[in-house]
Amino acid sequence: MYITSPQFKENAARALADARLQKALSRTGSHAKRARAVAALPEFERLRDTGRDIKNHTLANLDFYLEAYAEKVEAAGGHVHWCGTADEARAAVLEICRKAGARTVTKGKSMISEELGINDHLEANGIRPVETDLGEYILQLRREPPSHIIGPAFHLNREDWEESFRRSHTDLPADRVFHERRDILAEARTRLREAFLAADVGITGANFLIAETGSSVIVTNEGNGDLTQTLPRVHVVLASIEKVVPTLEDCTSLLRLLARSATGQDFSVYTTFSTGARRPADLDGPEEYHVVLVDNGRSAMVGTEFQDMLRCIRCAACMNHCPVYGVTGGHAYGWVYPGPMGSVLTPSLVGVDKAAHLPNASSFCGRCESVCPVRIPLPKMMRHWREREFERHLTPLPQRRALGLWGWLARRPGAYRLAARLGMGALGLLGRGRGAFTWMPGAAGWTRGRDLPAPEPGGTFMDRYARQRRGAGE
Amino acid sequence: MSRNAILGAIRRGLKRGELPQDQQEMLRDRMARHPRHLIPARSRLPHGEQVALFIARLEAEFGTLERVPDASQVPQAVADYLAGQNLPPRLAMAPHPELQALPWSSLPLLSVEARRAEGTDMVSVQHGYAGIAETGTLMLPSAPERPTTLNLLAETAIVVLRAADVVGAYEEAWDRLRGAGPMPRNVMLVTGPSRSADIEQTLELGAHGPRRLHVILVDEPGPPP
Ligand code: SF4
């Protein structure tokens, strides 16, 4: 996928001015849904600790569990293709499709497929990929990337759906009426049924891989992933190496967190465990089962300050609760993974030189970390990226100078307090009577979206602190 | 080779070589014991209350349910449900001995075919392996007598489940499944009918899978006729 992360600022400005996008983004409800589901499970906070610990245990023994997993897949008659890079993974998928003589390939929703650019590669080689998740389907018609990791068409409105369907399904009467959302759904269902029945290969992602049994797990609400992996002759699972967990019990504990954090459901509609190919006497199921196991930059995160990011179960709670994502939407982030998890993961996978803006696209409010089901310290890791950005001189000069000045002051408490007192006094005088600044020379961009409260009389925090301590007689 | 390169990179990151044998043994032992973690108190109930919880959770997820006192009444319950929903009296049914033993022939107007599902089927009847009370979830493992397509292709999916097969938590269902042999090719955990919220984040039922999920819960204890 083409990366526009270096243009994050321009992307964000465009997003803010896009009325249709802002309308779509204003449809929030995910906070309340998550909050309700969490409130209904008193053990939720303890389960978050469990989830973090399971993932940490797995990552500390990742090599062992990957080998154990692969052995089980093979014992169940499946094939594992270890791929270090995106190129290798694309080639492995293409080869499986070619061997199967595939012309049509159905696809379940998979972020790793977006990361690897599987669709473009298949198309370039004469194979038709058909996305079957409803959201991914319309994005494929519109040739757009997803803007959210679980609701890929989050940025679209009903009008967009109707327009795209009319433009693409030209064999249907042009004047047909979509009375309700259900009519849009019904048209997609009929369309995709044809694809399901015609497909030679089905490609899905995996939410988890289980070492104990050699199973891959997908979680969906629509059932498209299940049709994708059940009907064609060949099932290909695309999964990155950090998806592995040791046992069914470990997976179950993480599943208790996933749907609640993602959509506020207690459990998704379909949670499916696939293990190998069709067994003798089975009446359905694929005859071949392949796992394309992808590294693509993850092993290099092991043992670094970014290892914790490999705990991510892709629930999207962090972006659902992010004030920056909430106004820019996902496309502004410029690559596959948006929101706070993307701000940490994207620099790891594509390089901080291309993605330096992303870890800066944060107010450090900490909401992402407070909802992350596996307790990933997202703000801390964004700070690590900012440090690396600074070390590698990727930060623009004015910002470096300002940081340098601040650093000089911060190391000299006397000068710092004096500067703070002077600044506050000036702002306090200017702002007297109005309470807040709605405009500020040199900071117009900042004040366009928010007010800067004017300091109240009474001195700086340190002044007050000193006074109170004296008052307390210490 | 990529396999060794990936494993090598992970080991370099972890600042060690391959795990020593004794540690590998410990991890293998953990997999063999598969210890349970925290299980929510919600489902820690006497069996009768677990069944009630299963029903309440299933209905909260837009499933429907009818309880019959013994298995011989399942065919009539299916026929009545189809008539009530204005559905044709034709169905694809799992070739499971427990289902095939039911008195279907007492309903000559109902056409029952024991097979996998096809794209044209309107109604399917599946054999329920277990019900999980915690979230009103059905466990449907694949087998020659329980084809996966019956969970997916028809607009109306009916599942026949014995009340005795309702358990509290997922972990209990896993243990049953482990006791029955190797991991089946496909294990679906199904919670309500198919749905999507991709259009304007508004929930619509009946995306790609069934629009209706109807459970017939058979109270009769012990093996059916
Ligand atoms: S970082 Fe945490 S909150 Fe964000 S998607 Fe991953 S698991 Fe979910």
Two tokens at A381?
A: 């890791």
Kind of pairing between the strands at B195-196 and B90-93: unpaired
Instruction: Give me chain B's average pLDDT, please.
Output: 95
A-proximal residues of B, 146-175, CB under 8 Å: 147-149, 151-153, 170-171, 174
pLDDT at A251: 98
Residue among B5, B36, B191 whose CB faces A269 most closely: B191
Q: How far is the CA of A373 from the centre of ligand 1 (A)?
A: 7
- Tokens 């998740």 sit at which residue? A133
Percent of chain B with pLDDT over 70: 97
Q: How far apart are CA B206 and CA B186, in angstroms?
A: 22
From CA B24, how far away is CA A99, in angstroms rounded? Answer: 37
A297: left (phi over 0), alpha (psi -120 to 50) or beta: left
Strands A215-220 and A288-294: unpaired
Nearest Cα neighbor of B33 from B152, B184, B135, B171 is: B171
DSSP class of A454: P
Q: In this complex, which of B116, B135, B204 lies closest to A185 when CB atoms are compared? A: B204
In 3D space, the residue among A217, A250, A209, A72 whose CA is nearest the CA of residue B182 turns out to be A72
CB atoms within 10 A of CB B24: 15
Maximum pairwise Cα distance, chain B: 71
Test site for ligand 1: of A341, A344, A381, most ligand atoms within 8 A of the Cβ: A341
Query: A341: Cβ below 6 Å to ligand 1?
Result: yes
* Cα–Cα distance measured from residue A156 to residue B202, given in angstroms and rounded to the nearest whole number: 12
Q: How far apart are CA B121 and CA A457, in angstroms?
A: 76
Report how far residue A410's alpha carbon sits from residue B44's, in angstroms, rounded to the nearest whole number.
56
Decide whether any atom of ligand 1 lies within 6 Å of the A21 Cβ: no
Q: Phi and psi (nearest 5°) for A234?
A: -130, 135
Q: What is the pLDDT of residues A75-112, one digit of tens each?
A: 999 999 999 999 999 999 999 999 999 999 999 999 99
Instruction: Select from A240, A269, A293, A299 the residue whose CB has the most chain B CBs within 10 Å, as the one to mutate to test that interface.
Output: A269
Residues of chain A with pLDDT under 50: none
**Smallest Cβ distance to B144: which of A61, A223, A283?**
A283
| A375 dihedral zone (left: phi>0; alpha: psi -120 to 50; beta) | left
How do strand A234-240 and strand A201-204 relate by DSSP bridges? parallel
B151 neighbors B206 (Cβ within 8 angstroms):
no
Instruction: Give pLDDT, residue A22.
Output: 86
> What whole-number distance in Å separates Cα of residue A35 and Cα of residue B8?
42
- Residue B88 Cα, gap to closest chain A Cα (Å): 20
Element (H, E) at A82: strand A79-83
Region B140-169 average pLDDT: 97
C-alpha span between A328 and A16 (Å, rounded) = 6
Question: Does the Cβ of A321 fall within 6 Å of ligand 1?
Answer: no
What is the count of residue pairs from A and B with beta carbons less than 8 Å apart? Answer: 255
Q: What is the 3-state secondary structure (H, E, C) of B20-79?
A: CHHHHHHHHHHHHHCCCCCCCHHHCCCHHHHHHHHHHHHHHCCCEEEEECCHHHHHHHHH
Taking the C-alpha atoms of residue B211 and residue B157, their distance in angstroms, rounded to an integer, is: 8
pLDDT at residue number B1: 66
The pTM score is 0.92
- pLDDT confidence of residue A1: 62
Nearest to A109 by CA among A137, A133, A142, A143: A133
3-class SS of residue B100: helix
The verdict on the CB of residue A338 being under 6 Å from ligand 1 is no
Residues of chain B contacting A152 with CB distance shorter than 8 Å: 198
Total length of chain B: 225
Q: Which pLDDT score, from 0 to 100, does residue B225 have? A: 40
Substitution target in B62, B155, B185 with the highest count of A β-carbons within 10 Å is B185
Kindly state the tokens that stand for A191.
């369309």
Distance CA A250, CA A458 (A): 55
What ipTM was predicted for this assembly? 0.96
Residue of chain B whose alpha carbon sits nearest to that of A150? B198
Can you tell me the distance from the alpha carbon of A90 to that of A238, in angstroms, rounded to the nearest whole number? 10
**Closest C-alpha to ligand 1, atom 4:** A318
Pairing relationship of beta strands B212-218 and B64-68 according to DSSP bridges: parallel
Name the CA radius of gyration of chain B, rounded.
21
Give the single-character DSSP code of B202.
-
Atom 3 in ligand 1: which residue has the minimum CA distance?
A372
CB–CB of B14 and A302 under 8 A? yes
Over residues B191-200, the mean pLDDT reads 89
**Is the CB of A314 within 6 Å of ligand 1?**
yes
Beta carbons of A271 and B189 less than 8 Å apart: yes
- And the tokens for B15? 């600042």
Task: Give the separation between CA A65 and CA A50, rounded to whole angstroms.
Answer: 18
Of A61, A189, A222, the CB nearest to B19: A61
- Please, is A117 exposed, middle or buried when counting C-beta atoms within 10 Å of its C-beta (0-12, 13-18, 19+)? middle
- In chain A, what are the domain boundaries? 41-296, 398-473
The CA A344 to ligand 1 mean position distance, Å, reads 11
Joined tokens for residue A449? 């979206």
CA angle B161, B162, B164 (to 5 degrees): 140
pLDDT at A423: 83
**Which has the closest alpha carbon to A249: B160, B30, B53?**
B30
B196 in helix, strand or coil?
strand
Q: Which of A47, A54, A313, A325 to mutate to test the pocket of ligand 1 (most atoms within 8 A of CB)?
A: A313
What letter would DSSP give residue B224?
-
Distance from CA of A222 to the nearest CA of B (A): 5
A254 lines ligand 1 (CB under 6 A): no
CB contact under 8 A, A50 and B37: yes
Q: Please give, one letter per residue, the 3-state secondary structure of A54-99.
A: HHHHHHHCHHHHHHHHHHHHHHCCCEEEEECCHHHHHHHHHHHHHH
Closest of B131, B118, B129, B121 to residue B96, by C-alpha: B129
pLDDT at A473: 58
End-to-end CA, chain B: 57
Place of tokens 């601040």: A406
CA-closest residue to ligand 1 atom 8: A315
Nearest Cα to B215, choosing from B83, B81, B21?
Answer: B81
Q: What is the DSSP string of A421-452?
A: HHHHHHHHHHHTTT-EES--TT-HHHHHHSPE
Strand partners, B161: B217
* Residue A69 phi, psi dihedral angles, 5° rounding: -60, -50
| Residue of B11, B134, B144 with shortest CB distance to A63 | B11
Asked whether the beta carbons of residue B10 and residue A181 sit closer than 8 angstroms, the reply is no
Mutate to test the pocket of ligand 1, among A52, A255, A318, A344 (most ligand atoms within 8 A of CB): A318
Identify which of A43, A184, A275 has the shortest CB distance to residue B40.
Answer: A43
Asked if A376 contacts A369 with a C-beta cutoff of 8 angstroms, the reply is: yes
Looking at ligand 1, which atom is closest to the CA of residue A341?
A: 1
pLDDT tens-digit series, residues B49-74: 999 999 999 999 999 999 999 999 99
Query: CA of A258 to nearest chain B CA: how many angstroms apart?
Result: 14
Domains and CATH numbers, chain B: 1-33 (no CATH), 45-218 (3.40.50.10420)
Identify the CATH homologous superfamily for domain A41-296.
NagB/RpiA/CoA transferase-like (3.40.50.10420)
* DSSP for B133-191, written as a single string: TTTTEEEEE-BTTB-GGGGTSSSEEEEEEEGGGEESSHHHHHHHHHHTSSPPSEEEEE-
- The C-alpha of A29 sits at a distance from chain B's nearest C-alpha, in angstroms, of 8
State whether A66 and B135 contact (CB < 8 Å). Answer: no
Q: What is the DSSP string of A280-329?
A: TT-SSS-SEEEEEEE-TTSGGGTTSTTGGGGG-----HHHHT-HHHHHH-
A359 lines ligand 1 (CB under 6 A): no
For the record, the structure tokens of A11 come out as 């992307």
Q: Beta strand A215-220 with A208-210: parallel, antiparallel or unpaired?
A: antiparallel
- DSSP, collapsed to helix, strand or coil, labels residue A275 as coil
Rounded to a whole number of angstroms, the distance from the CA of B7 to the nearest CA of chain A is: 5
